[in-house]
Chain A
Amino acid sequence: MSNILEIENLHFQYGEIVALRGISLNVGEGEVVTLLGGNGAGKTTTLTAISGLINGITQGEIRFMGEKINGKAPHKIAALGIAHSLEGRHIFSQLTVMENLMMGAYLRKGDNAGIAKDLEYVFHLFPRLKEREKQQGGTLSGGEQQMLAVGRALMQAPKLLMLDEPSLGIAPIIVEDIFRALHQINQDGLPLLLVEQNCNVALDIAHRGYVIETGEIILSDTAQALAENELIQKSYMGME
């Protein structure tokens, strides 16, 4: 299986503060890869480094479909086909659900047929968004906003979807809905890089996983092996 995303020995600093100390990971075609870890471990930093939203890479390389992307402007990275659904959702709260989704398709000039098809796909995954099509983004519940954030990212027609804690602050039953949709999205061929603190749901849909702690990857294995790993069970799943 060829890799769509490859990260090699990535170092990242926020000013003086070192956040990543030589991370290497890859995501293969059609794969769901999860990045697990506690608060401040460097999960979000890894994603923002990939999408170029924050500039602080001091060493290492990020390659997307074989092309080096670190140092590129975020809008150029997005144009290459990486969609980044941000932590805390960051939807456009004054705009309607429909306008939010159409904003996702911003870069797809003239591809009206493709946009209409993807819109239908998003509404098929999240029927609730269809119901609330004309509602302002800010009036949605947390779970619906997360669905909107995922839907908007899909409207970019990405080749890789990165999700930052899609389960954060959302009722368990809605988390299930969202992860069922994520699984479906992957079944339909899109590779996912999923950052989560909620290991149970993440390992459920992932093929492989990495565990990150204080900016270093301390463990990497298949999802099943990680789920059975004692350290993981103790530290992240709350099992004794």
Chain B
Amino acid sequence: MKTFVQKNLKAIIAVAVLVVIALVLAQKTYYALIIGLIGIYAIVADSLDILFGYTGQISLGHAGLFAIGAYVTTLLRMRLGVPSLVALVLGAIVTMLAGFLVAIPASKLVKHFLSLLMIAFGQMVYLIVNTWTPVTGGSLGIGEIPYLNVFGLVLNSNLKCAIFIWILVAVCMLVKYRIINSRTGRAFIAIRENPVAARGLGIDVRRYKIMAFAISAFLTGMAGGLYAYLRGFISPETFNGTQSTLFMTMLLFGGITTVAGPVIGSAVLLLVKEVFQSLALYQGLIYAVFILIILFFFPNGAVGVYYNMQAAMKKKSNKKAEEQEVAKNA
């Protein structure tokens, strides 16, 4: 345990400082809302990382899964009176089942065909929630969603809700870490690297692709449910195609196959979105610029930039040490 603390001392200090700053800021309701949203989007970006970063399956339709989680949770809570935490879990499970259904055909597709299918899926869900007015409230959405009640503790402020969300973010990170470092994770990586070779080594490619989809859908569905509880209001506009692009941009910007990437990507992109709120019309353009910057200048995302800098500094210090050595010998 001591070695773990020693090894990750910098990271632990950084996290502690961020937590303190976040708690101070979160005294204001609006900031607490933003911090909560960052957590929610970090969960979605993490779920995308399992699917895209590790298994190599791209999805530009995760807003659809996010919507299913949000709507199912809300409807179970409000129409059927299911306890709020149970509704959250059931919402995630229903989303996982939806993920299964999409994954069965999707697992046979690769690259652009898969992204087309996922775009179509996102659009489908968007249209359904938009037009099925008797159930989903149509374009007006559903308001006055009751607070989340965690074992008797009512999360009746943005701050309380945000704290709960971030506990779940930590849990998600841990779950992701455990999955990636398991046999299942190795199968995912093999599929991403070379599906043909993976099959030859005895990996049931289809099964693991579907599994990655289901895990990703579960986490995204849970994030959707959390979103509904945090905002207290959901409407179809939150779940359109731009949202799917935003999720993917967050992951790419933060850096795929990293621990901190999804959180960083989520925080930066959400802050950009909030700052440029008045330019809502041009949001797509802003994301496009971000994606281009990533593609051209740092393909490994923000975390990748950090690693590159670290490597460069190490090289420099090594060189310096070498020079001193040479000088001494001379």
Q: List chain A positions with a Cβ less than 8 A from chain B.
A: 51, 53, 73-75, 78-79, 83-84, 86, 90-95, 102-104, 106-107, 109, 152, 156
Q: Say whether, besides A103-B186, A106-B203, A107-B201, A92 and B196 are in contact (CB < 8 Å).
A: no
* Distance from A160 Cβ to chain B, minimum over Cβ atoms (Å): 13
A94, A102, A106: the one contacting B202 at CB < 8 Å is A106
* Distance from A76 Cβ to chain B, minimum over Cβ atoms (Å): 8
Contact between A107 and B190 (Cβ–Cβ < 8 Å)? no
Q: Say whether, besides A95-B189, A103-B190, A90 and B196 are in contact (CB < 8 Å).
A: yes
B193 at the interface (CB under 8 A from A): yes
B193, B194, B196, B202: the one contacting A75 at CB < 8 Å is B202
A84, A86, A92: the one contacting B193 at CB < 8 Å is A92
Q: Say whether, besides A106-B183, A107-B201, A156-B202, A95 and B196 are in contact (CB < 8 Å).
A: no
Give chain B's interface residue range (CB within 8 Å of chain A).
10 to 19
Chain B residues with Cβ below 8 Å from A102 are 186
Contact between A84 and B200 (Cβ–Cβ < 8 Å)? yes
Q: Which residue of A lies closest to B206 (CB)?
A: A73
Chain A residues with Cβ below 8 Å from B323 are none
| Extra inter-chain contacts (12) besides given A53-B199, A75-B203, A92-B197, CB under 8 Å | A51-B200, A73-B204, A74-B202, A75-B205, A78-B199, A78-B200, A78-B201, A86-B196, A92-B194, A103-B186, A103-B201, A106-B201
Bound-complex Cα distance A53 to B203 (A): 12
Contact between A91 and B197 (Cβ–Cβ < 8 Å)? yes
Instruction: Give the total number of A-B pairs whose CB atoms are below 8 A apart.
Output: 57
Q: Say whether, besides A95-B189, A109-B183, A75 and B199 are in contact (CB < 8 Å).
A: yes
Contact between B201 and A156 (Cβ–Cβ < 8 Å)? yes
Bound-complex Cα distance A43 to B183 (A): 33
B187 at the interface (CB under 8 A from A): yes
Choose among B186, B193, B204 the residue with the greatest number of A CB atoms under 10 Å from its CB.
B193
* Distance from B34 Cβ to chain A, minimum over Cβ atoms (Å): 36
Contact between A94 and B193 (Cβ–Cβ < 8 Å)? yes
Interface residues of B in 171-207 (CB under 8 A from A): 183, 186-187, 189-190, 193-194, 196-197, 199-205
A53, A94, A95, A109: the one contacting B200 at CB < 8 Å is A53
Q: Say whether, besides A86-B197, A90-B196, A91-B194, A107 and B186 are in contact (CB < 8 Å).
A: no
* Distance from B312 Cβ to chain A, minimum over Cβ atoms (Å): 19
* Distance from B329 Cβ to chain A, minimum over Cβ atoms (Å): 29
Q: Which residue of A lies closest to B195 (CB)?
A: A90
Chain A residues with Cβ below 8 Å from B203 are 75, 106
Bound-complex Cα distance A51 to B204 (A): 13
* Distance from B104 Cβ to chain A, minimum over Cβ atoms (Å): 16
Contact between A90 and B199 (Cβ–Cβ < 8 Å)? no
Contact between B189 and A152 (Cβ–Cβ < 8 Å)? no
Contact with A along B63-92 (1 / 0, CB 8 A): 000000000000000000000000000000
Q: Which residue of B lies closest to A107 (CB)?
A: B202
Chain A residues with Cβ below 8 Å from B196 are 53, 86, 90
